Amino acid sequence: MSNRIISIILALALLTPMLVNLAVLVPVNAQGGIIQAVRGDGPDGKGVYPGGIITVTINVPFASSVTIEVSNANTGEVYVTQQFYPPTPGTYNVTVQIPKLLPNIGTADPPTLLVTVSIPFIGTDQATIYVYPLIEVSPSATTIVDGRGNFKSVSVDIYGLPEGTAVNTIFFNDTSYDAGITADSSGHAGTTIQFSPSFLLPGGLYIVTSDAAVVFSGMTKKATLTILPQVVLSPNEGNGRDVESISLVGYGFPANANITVVELYNTNFTNVVYVFNIT
Query: pLDDT digit string (tens) for 100-132?
Result: 999 999 999 999 999 999 999 999 999 999 999
pLDDT(153) > 90? yes
**pLDDT in the model for residue 162:** 98
More confident residue, 17 or 162: 162
Question: What digits encode the pLDDT tens for the residues 154-205?
Answer: 999 999 999 999 999 999 999 999 999 999 999 999 999 999 999 999 999 9
**Contact indicator for 137, 155 with CB cutoff of 8 Å:** yes
Q: How many Å is the maximal CA-CA distance in the chain?
A: 128
**pLDDT in the model for residue 5:** 46
- Region of poorest pLDDT, from 193-197, 229-233, 264-268: 264-268
**pLDDT in the model for residue 159:** 98
pLDDT(75) > 90? yes
Core vs surface per residue 77-86: b (16+ CB within 10 A) or e: bebeeeebeb
**Contact indicator for 257, 269 with CB cutoff of 8 Å:** no
